[in-house]
Structure 1
Amino acid sequence: MTTSPDVVDGSSQPPADPASERAAAPLPSATLGGDSKRSIEQIALLLFITAPFLALVAAVPMAWGWGVSWLDLGLLVAMYYIGCHGITIGFHRYFTHGSFKAKRPLRIALAIAGSLAVEGPLVRWVADHRKHHRFSDAEGDPHSPWRFGESVPALMKGLWWAHIGWMFDEEQTPQQKYAPDLIKDPAIRRISRDFVFWTMLSLAIPPLVGGLVTMSWWGAFTAFFWGSLVRVALLHHVTWSINSICHAVGKRPFKSRDRSGNVWWLAVLSCGESWHNLHHAEPTSARHGVLRGQLDSSARLIRWFERLGWAYDVRWPSADRIAARREASQPDTA
């Protein structure tokens, strides 16, 4: 498997000199979320992180006190997996790494579904992740947990940085350098620029459905609490755990030039993304869970898209390729 020429993720290249990243003058961004974060944007980011997180913390005692309806749970699960697969299949495997090609309607649908996850504008997300692969766990990686060293205090600080802290860094990835292919697409550029609209829509769908089904304001409120706030918080922390936990612990059966590991207990919630060691060994692979018993719902959906004719030129990993990447001599990390 090789990287498509229109994908600029740098995953097949050796780590570049991060000094050259800082020296280059930033080009104007064509999408919402440019190459530096303004104070108002950082405040908004803090709000969107803390509000859902507080809802997640409050979820258990609130459920214990007055319960949660099947409608609330249904909305939480449905919206969670729409957004999660929008990120894993769309933002990550398709837009970032070119693991397959998609017909235009699927391309647009994946861009919108990923935007409903409330994880930032599409172009910025892709640019950050391509840069992550270019410098993975080395100087220049936007969110490596090994940023501050390998002692226990340094790793604790690094895990916080990789999980949340890096998003508040004023120095941002140059989008013109890392995602020029997306910026050139008017439809994708528009979807990325309209991130605030997709966020509002994502938060509004559960209370709208809950209110209409129950015909009550209380039904709208509980649907908003579970289907909007708790859902967003849970999806955020699962996604961020791929940056932090999956680069600190986990089994490493495949050869890669970083510390990416497979964390099995995150597989279902992350839609297959936590089989992270294979991903960094073969970044353009459409399937991450390649060994027996490794659930990967994102790969299953891509297979269905392929059979329907919506996706094509899918980069499925071959047995020979997998065998070549095996590194049985390297001890696994718990």
Structure 2
Amino acid sequence: MIQKLQRRHFILFGVAPLIAVLATPLYWESLYHGPFELLLFFGLWIVTGLGITVGYHRLFTHRSFQTSAPVQTLLAVLGSMAAQGGVTSWVAIHRLHHERSDTEEDLHSPNTHGHGIVNRLRGLLHSHFLWMRKHPFPNVLRYAPDLLRNNHVSMVDRHYYKIVLSGLMLPAVAGYLYRGDLNGAISGLYWGGVLRIFVLEHIIWSINSLLHVLGRRDYHTKDSSRNIGVLGLVTLGESWHNNHHRFANSPSFGLKWFRLDPGFWTIKALEKAGVAWDLRMPDKSEIDARRIGS
């Protein structure tokens, strides 16, 4: 039953958006009409991306800060709209990833398929998105018991598919209201729904694949996690992956104020607004002392 649900989710939100985007040149003239479509894309990409990095990842997985119940619910809803799985299952898989990173028990490591170009490519494709076709499901009682007790998260989980659908329908309705016809609804659905899901998925998935193969290692870790700081903006701070694996409970992945980390900037804004607290920042001396070569 679980594997059937995995395949269905993979086809709906992994394969279908890919096919739609590859076919874009065939119907481009009916999709793009002006800046409104770009506004839909970037606006929903940013808020659902923050739902993943701030909500799913930094709050629910690593508990790097505390926040109010309404903010928890909002972040869980925005993360669900990204169509990357329900929050409890996402958290369980990611906690397992940190526990078993780059071992045979890691569900999406690119480094467990052998040597040579062919095997390395197989590993990258597996870790990027093919692993989602069929994989062992972590025991949520072990890996996410806190979320099972969280009524707000459980409520969002129960309505996961409805929330994903709402994330598709909202831009479609916006497109219809703005353009006044069915073509506007279709272009809104594409830019704010299908393309937005596709782009955000592949940005997040590249953290699992590329950032365990390419980039710089500033800290010794038990895995091969790496940093590509120039991608900090587009990944909303997730590309400081080696930093994150060394200080997993830190709300800041960049660790320094001048590094691009929009996810952390959002958490700091929530703190300034009085709805986030207990940020688990590592000491500066610890950050500096644990760098490779220190």
TM-score normalised by the chain length of structure 2 = 0.94
Q: For the residues of structure 2 that align with 1:137 and 1:170, how far apart are their CA atoms?
A: 16
Structure 2 unaligned segments of length 5 or more: list them.
Answer: none
1:282 counterpart residue number:
247
Matching of residues 158-177 of structure 1 within 5 Å: 158-177=123-142
In the TM superposition, what is the alpha-carbon distance from 1:63 to its structure 2 partner? 4.5
Over 3 Å counting, the alpha-carbon distance change for 1:104 and 1:201 in structure 2 is: same
Deviations 1:187-237 (A, max 9, x none): 211211211111100111101111012211111111111111111000111
Deviations 1:40-95 (A, max 9, x none): 54134213212211232234665478744211100000110111000000000000
Matched, 1:73 2:20: no
Q: For the residues of structure 2 that align with 1:197 and 1:79, how far apart are their CA atoms?
A: 17
State the SS of the aligned residue for 1:172: coil
2:47 counterpart residue number:
82
2:211 counterpart residue number:
246
Matched, 1:96 2:61: yes
1:294 counterpart residue number:
259
2:281 counterpart residue number:
316
Q: Would you say the 8 A contact 2:7–2:134 is kept in 1?
A: no
Over 3 Å counting, the alpha-carbon distance change for 1:304 and 1:193 in structure 2 is: same
Matching of residues 132-147 of structure 1 within 5 Å: 132-147=97-112
TM-score normalised by the chain length of structure 1 = 0.83
State the SS of the aligned residue for 2:2: coil
Structure 1 unaligned segments of length 5 or more: list them.
Answer: 1-35, 330-334
Equivalent of residue 173 in structure 2, options 178, 200, 208: 208
State the SS of the aligned residue for 1:213: helix
The percent identity for this pair of structures is: 34
Paired residue type of 1:153: V
Q: Would you say the 8 A contact 1:238–1:266 is kept in 2?
A: no
Q: Would you say the 8 A contact 1:90–1:110 is kept in 2?
A: yes
Q: For the residues of structure 1 that align with 2:5 and 2:280, how far apart are their CA atoms?
A: 41
Matching of residues 22-33 of structure 1 within 5 Å: none
In the TM superposition, what is the alpha-carbon distance from 1:293 to its structure 2 partner? 4.6
Deviations 1:110-159 (A, max 9, x none): 11111111100110000000000000112211111012123322211111
Paired residue type of 1:79: L
Matched, 1:270 2:235: yes
Paired residue type of 1:201: S
Q: For the residues of structure 2 that align with 1:40 and 1:117, how far apart are their CA atoms?
A: 17
Paired residue type of 1:192: D
Paired residue type of 1:222: S
Q: Would you say the 8 A contact 1:268–1:296 is kept in 2?
A: yes
Paired residue type of 1:164: F
| Bigger helix share | 2
Q: Would you say the 8 A contact 2:6–2:132 is kept in 1?
A: no
